[in-house]
Amino acid sequence: MIRINCDLCGKNEDNLARALIEGVELDVCAACSKFGKIIQPIKRPNPKEQHQKIMQRAEPKEEKTELLIENYADLIKKRRETMGLSQKDFAFRISEKESLVHHMETDHFTPSIPMARKLEKILGVKLVEEYEEKHETSGKNKKEDGFTLGDFIKIKR
């Protein structure tokens, strides 16, 4: 099989991901991927072997991932209207630009988690959901690897 080592720390990892770190594309391990932006998890050449490796590797760990709810844009708009605020008024309340409120409500701008938290307080609605991820040792439902998009959103913000 092809052995792949992390380009950054040199560790032999079965779960490398292609990441953009300081403008350079590198194949890195999970720990090193946090220094950059994940482009894609590396596809293993042999699916059977991949499955086996993942099962061996899986460790139980818990992670909390915070994600915006899917319909945050609609919800923000509805609540703002219910409160009788124009986009301009609302923008003033949250100390942001009116255009940003517009973009948020039309789903063209995704607020960061801290920002969504602020909006939650002002609007009195829940916009952020917390997911507790448990990585079990069985590997039963594991397909790719331990990465989720949420993990990296959390890291970047």
Chain positions contacting Zn ion, by CB under 5 A: 6, 8-9, 11, 29, 32
Question: Nearer Cβ to Zn ion, position 9 or 149?
Answer: 9
Q: How far apart are alpha carbons 79 and 100 in whole angstroms? A: 16
Which one, 5 or 110, has the nearer CB to Zn ion? 5
CB of 13 to Zn ion, least distance (A): 7
Residue (30 or 127) nearer to Zn ion, CB: 30
Q: Is 22 left (phi over 0), alpha (psi -120 to 50) or beta?
A: left
Q: CB of residue 152 vs Zn ion: minimum separation in angstroms?
A: 16
| CA–CA dist 8, 18 (Å, integer) | 12
Least CB distance from residue 157 to Zn ion, whole Å? 22
